[in-house]
Amino acid sequence: MKEILYEGYTIYVGENANENQELVVNGNPNDYWAHISGHPSAHAVICNPNSDRVHSKVIKRACCIIKSSNNKCKSIPKLQFDVCRISNINTTDTPGLVELIEQPKKITV
């Protein structure tokens, strides 16, 4: 699992399905989660200990980290990401596979 400090936030990025699952299970409800829309990819979690709104610059950085680690998607010029709080995610019996409770925010990077 990667751990990156950026603008005062800690961003965790899973490197396999089990780490992705661990990120969601262990994340706090107000932490932010990001994933490439419609493609298998790493999950990123932005720790949000104060439950504040996380600046879009931090969210985009997390998305860029995911994109750069995905060999199939990193060359796509405008790649869409799903972003939401962990409280809007349910885990499934399949490691790394989640169900979104509400429609996520879409961000293009």
Strands (E), 1-109: 2-6, 9-13, 32-36, 44-46, 80-85, 89-91, 98-100, 105-108
Residue pLDDT, tens place only, 56-98:
999 999 999 999 999 999 999 999 999 999 999 999 999 999 9
pLDDT over 90 (residue 52): no
Residue pLDDT, tens place only, 38-48:
999 999 999 99
* pLDDT at position 99: 96
Contacts of 61 (CB under 8 A, 6+ apart): 4, 6, 7, 11
Q: What residues make up the domain containing 68?
A: 2-108
* pLDDT at position 51: 87
DSSP state of 106: E
Structural domains of the chain, count:
1
